[in-house]
């Protein structure tokens, strides 16, 4: 919901408050996700998984901005601060706020939180979200593609990079069983609000349509899987 309110924030209070709004949005969802997960996992499990996500995604992002691998050549603008190695410290938190969510979705679809089917579905659900996210963040001026590509200015390589990164982090994190309806509800809510936000507030109808179909397909798969269970 805060993401949809950001246009109003920017128009009313200007760019500095807009930047704080982005930060607040990520922190709020991260806090909610961690609160849910803390009720399911032990403290040791939570600390281990959070550490793996934050360290590994920061490492991938730092390599990505320096070398162009695995996402393609891009750079973050100075909008999001602080930054280390040209990577805003908010970025690993963005991964943290979504990976447990897609793990819960994948668990509901495949019936477990391990195995290659779980890993592949998790990475697919994560990449589907980026079909919304990347055009949105570029439009907001948070990062820039040095070599724009075929998906509304985003290189196709970026989505391969997202998929591979999600696979890597899921394998490294080895998340414990995570089948929580509230996390699934977060995924569904993001799907709805991103579709509305990009279509009506941010003037990005193409990414709104494609992202809606992609994330919506995962939600349909989840619904069908739940219907088949006794």
Region 157-173: mean pLDDT is 98
pLDDT number for residue 10: 56
Give the integer Cα–Cα distance in Å for 190 and 3: 10
Q: Which two tokens stand for residue 94?
A: 């963005």
Region 175-185: mean pLDDT is 91
Region 157-172: mean pLDDT is 98
Q: Which of 19, 143, 202, 198 is nearest to 10 (CA)?
A: 19
Give the integer Cα–Cα distance in Å for 2 and 101: 18
- With a CB cutoff of 8 Å and minimum separation 6, the contacts of 107 are 113, 118, 177, 178, 179
Q: Which two tokens stand for residue 193?
A: 């609000």
Q: Which two tokens stand for residue 219?
A: 């939600």
4 vs 167 pLDDT, higher one: 167
- With a CB cutoff of 8 Å and minimum separation 6, the contacts of 64 are 70, 71, 74, 161
What confidence tens digit (pLDDT) does each residue in 196-223 have?
989 988 899 999 999 999 999 999 999 9
Indicate whether 77 pLDDT > 70. Answer: yes
Output the pTM of the full model: 0.93
Indicate whether 110 pLDDT > 90. Answer: yes
> Contact 64/176 with Cβ under 8 angstroms?
no
């Amino acid at each position: 919901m805060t993401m949809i309110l950001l246009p109003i924030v920017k128009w009313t209070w200007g760019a500095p408050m807009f930047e704080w709004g982005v930060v607040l949005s990520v922190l709020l969802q991260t806090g909610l996700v961690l609160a849910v997960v803390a009720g399911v996992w032990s403290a040791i499990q939570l600390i281990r998984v959070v550490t793996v996500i934050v360290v590994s995604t920061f490492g991938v992002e730092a390599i990505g901005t320096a070398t162009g691998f695995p996402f393609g050549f891009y750079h973050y603008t100075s909008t999001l601060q602080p930054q280390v190695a040209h990577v805003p410290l908010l970025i690993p938190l963005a991964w943290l706020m979504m990976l447990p969510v897609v793990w819960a979705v994948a668990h509901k679809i495949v019936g477990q939180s391990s195995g290659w089917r779980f890993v592949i579905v998790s990475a697919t659900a994560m990449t589907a979200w980026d079909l919304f996210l990347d055009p949105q963040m570029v439009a907001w001026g948070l990062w820039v593609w040095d070599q724009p590509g075929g998906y509304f200015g985003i290189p196709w390589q970026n989505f391969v990079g997202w998929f591979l990164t999600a696979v890597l982090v899921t394998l490294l994190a080895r998340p414990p069983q995570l089948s929580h309806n509230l996390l699934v509800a977060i995924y569904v809510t993001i799907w709805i609000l991103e579709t509305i936000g990009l279509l009506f507030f941010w003037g990005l109808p193409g990414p709104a349509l494609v992202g809606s179909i992609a994330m919506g397909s995962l939600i349909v798969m989840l619904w069908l899987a739940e219907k088949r269970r006794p």
